[in-house]
Amino acid sequence: MLRPLLALLPLLAAVAPAQEEVPLGSLREGHWVVLSGELSGLDAFLVEEVELTQPDDEESLVGVVENLREVKAGYEFLVLGQPVTTDARTDLPDGPPVEGQLVRVEGHYEGPQDFQARQLRFRKGGRARIEGRIDSLRAQDDGLSLRVQRFRAFIPSKEGVELEEELEAIRLAPRSRHQAQPIRMRDEDRIPGREVSPDLFLGLRAETNFRREDDFNLSESDDEDREDFDASLRAEVTWAPPGRFTAVASGRLFWRDRMDEQDGDSIQRDARLVEAFGYWDRLPWGTTVQVGRQDFEEPREWLWDQELDAARLGWSEGPHSLQLAAMTTWSNGSAVDRNSANLMASYTWTDSDRTLGAYILDRRIDLGYEDLGSNGKGFRGYDYPLFMGVRALGEWLPDTDCWLELAHVTGYTDGADVDLQADGGPTEVRRAENLRAWGLDLGTVWQPKALEPFHFAIGLAYGAGDDQPGDGVNRTFRQTGYHDNNDDLGGATSVKYYGELLEPDLSNLAIRTLSMGATLSKRTSIDLIYHDYRQPVPDAVRVGELSERADGVSDDLGWELDLVYGNRANPALDIEVAFCHFEPGEAFRGADSAQLLRVQLRIKF
């Protein structure tokens, strides 16, 4: 019985797909390789074994899990220094990732900032490994240098290439469309740049915005309606070579055609630099450094969402992160911003979908005697507010997304308020005061599974007013000046959560918000949002976008109702439509209502 089997061995060997070995010079751009070895530096990989295979539809990494943290959709961690993300679709047969565990991750390499894991398995041992397409290669005297995923791999001359099957039968893989996206918090801010070369990425975003304002002066008999048609094109270039450094530059072209019943028609054209910064990550002790014009943003944009010229130092370890920054505005900003010097420190603790934070922002605004009255109001002198606050965000209760903002403003001001009157002449009110004021914003979005697809939100915001004017202490709360008050209330798109039409700052103002919405399909929603406005201290000022003043007697400013539709089902296209109605209260006795229609499209390519 044994002799017949032995006689078959040569025949079996002849038909079996025996692995061959070919010289390094056989490798071509587009070949799919499995590289085994070890990291020899940041993004540098020393290859000890090379296997050439047929192209796969997923890349893979083998390495140790580092910097693991839980996020709302899954986990984020590093493998061989590459950021990896898991979500609900990731297969975890051995359980969730564990810090320090050797794993094999299979999925899609999206770019230097993200590897989307589709399966994660634990391994008991073995060498580090990289699998993917050869995006570039260069022969050297002592070997061959390859670019695979984000890694610059080096194969010494002594090594050969093992073949999965005959070289002539192995196909070339098409070039992958990798992305290099600087970290952004919001979908609308992301421009998914496409690869121009292995290290260079280009992204474009076109945006159109139609806005019609009816009776913002609260008078139907006075023709002050306005229509704006805006169009912009933003280009963003990212250079992300292997290593610690990334550079980003972006610019925007802007067009506006305005039809104004009071001021006449006008055309505005503008070109400006949006961002230009260098970013160093994975530095010792978990630090990062970012220098240049950069976007300061945070989840609710209650503190800041603005491009500033700054130097920023970041540190993170597990759920803890810290940021320190010095910033100003050198161009394309208001007079206040151009004449300010600012220092910021913020701490954040993040656990899955919950966040706690604390911050301090020191603003030093020195306007001398520059006249800001051209835009209706302003300030001359010195304004040194110091903002301190704490916040809690996330799912602190089941099926909810809660927020709490508690802020205190201190410091002092010495100068004059400037206000441009209807007759064109400015008035000045001298003030030298200490600042002492509180602000609060709290609420929740409730998304009960039993009531899907509906979601509900309730919110209360309060910015104190000064009930003892003239005593040398200003108790009127103010926001930072870098804020945007923009976040979602359970829907697919973000909204101006203090009112799309009124769009007020939280200063001497109490706002009650109720909303109900429905998710129509994946990333498509419609929301009905109600706001009620009151002044803690009645004051004869203009509120938000209205051109009419409150009477300073009644605290009832009125209410607003917004209907907002958002569609982000297509990652390359955002659609937002808002219909808004403002009904004035007793503080605008005898006034007419105001309306707003806003339609916005964003296209990313």
Segment 31-80, tens digit of pLDDT: 999 999 999 888 899 999 999 999 999 999 999 999 888 887 789 999 99
CA–CA separation, 409 and 398 (whole Å): 33
Top pLDDT among 13 and 185 is at: 185
Average pLDDT over residues 120-141: 92
Clarify whether residues 248 and 158 are in a common domain. no
What confidence category does residue 82 fall into, taking pLDDT thresholds of 50, 70 and 90? very high
What confidence category does residue 2 fall into, taking pLDDT thresholds of 50, 70 and 90? very low
Q: What is the pLDDT of residues 551-562, one digit of tens each?
A: 999 999 999 999
Please work out, in degrees rounded to the nearest 5, the angle formed at the alpha carbon of residue 500 by the alpha carbons of 496 and 504: 75
Clarify whether residues 78 and 194 are in a common domain. no
Residue 90 lies in a domain: yes
> Lowest mean pLDDT: which of 429-438, 484-493, 544-553?
429-438
Average pLDDT over residues 219-243: 89
Give me the pLDDT at residue 112, please. Answer: 82
Q: What is the pLDDT of residues 467-488, one digit of tens each?
A: 998 888 999 999 999 999 999 9
DSSP of 220-241, one letter per residue? SSS---EEEEEEEEEEEEEE--
How confident is the prediction for the chain on average, in pLDDT? 88
pTM of the model: 0.82
Give me the pLDDT at residue 42, please. Answer: 82
- On the question of pLDDT at 393 being above 50, the answer is yes
Clarify whether residues 137 and 232 are in a common domain. no
63 φ, ψ to 5°? -175, -175
Give me the pLDDT at residue 227, please. Answer: 95
Per-residue tokens: 295: 């976007």
Q: What is the pLDDT of residues 134-182, one digit of tens each?
A: 988 988 888 999 999 989 999 998 888 998 888 888 999 987 766 666 6
What confidence category does residue 14 fall into, taking pLDDT thresholds of 50, 70 and 90? very low
Q: Which residues contact 257 (CB under 8 A, 6 or more apart)?
A: 228, 229, 265, 266, 267
Residue 473 lies in a domain: yes
Average pLDDT over residues 402-412: 97
Residue 302 lies in a domain: yes
Number of domains present in the structure of the chain: 2
- On the question of pLDDT at 449 being above 70, the answer is yes
What is the end-to-end Cα distance of the chain in Å, rounded? 68
Clarify whether residues 425 and 523 are in a common domain. yes
CA dihedral 462, 468, 471, 473 (to 10 degrees): -10
Clarify whether residues 270 and 399 are in a common domain. yes
Clarify whether residues 322 and 389 are in a common domain. yes
Clarify whether residues 192 and 235 are in a common domain. yes
Average pLDDT over residues 367-371: 57
Clarify whether residues 253 and 109 are in a common domain. no
Top pLDDT among 372 and 309 is at: 309
Clarify whether residues 415 and 499 are in a common domain. yes
Give me the pLDDT at residue 180, please. Answer: 63
CA–CA separation, 215 and 595 (whole Å): 7
CA–CA separation, 554 and 535 (whole Å): 8
Residue 13 lies in a domain: no
Give me the pLDDT at residue 69, please. Answer: 85
- On the question of pLDDT at 195 being above 80, the answer is no
Top pLDDT among 534 and 194 is at: 534
Range of the domain at 412: 187-604
**Most confidently modeled range among 102-111, 570-579, 580-589:** 580-589
Average pLDDT over residues 519-527: 90
Give me the pLDDT at residue 67, please. Answer: 87
Q: What is the pLDDT of residues 258-297, one digit of tens each?
A: 999 888 899 999 999 999 999 998 788 889 999 999 999 8
Is residue 171 within 8 Å of 54, Cβ to Cβ? Answer: yes
Give me the pLDDT at residue 18, please. Answer: 45
CA–CA separation, 583 and 558 (whole Å): 6
Residue 570 belongs to domain with CATH number: 2.40.160.100
What confidence category does residue 187 fall into, taking pLDDT thresholds of 50, 70 and 90? low
Clarify whether residues 151 and 244 are in a common domain. no
What confidence category does residue 594 fall into, taking pLDDT thresholds of 50, 70 and 90? very high
Clarify whether residues 264 and 165 are in a common domain. no
Q: What is the pLDDT of residues 289-320, one digit of tens each?
A: 999 999 998 989 999 999 999 999 999 887 89
Give me the pLDDT at residue 514, please. Answer: 98
Share above pLDDT 90 across residues of the chain, in percent, rounded to a whole number: 63
Give me the pLDDT at residue 425, please. Answer: 55
Please say whether the dihedral angle defined by the alpha carbons of residues 163, 165, 170 and 176, taken in this order, is positive or negative: negative
Clarify whether residues 194 and 287 are in a common domain. yes
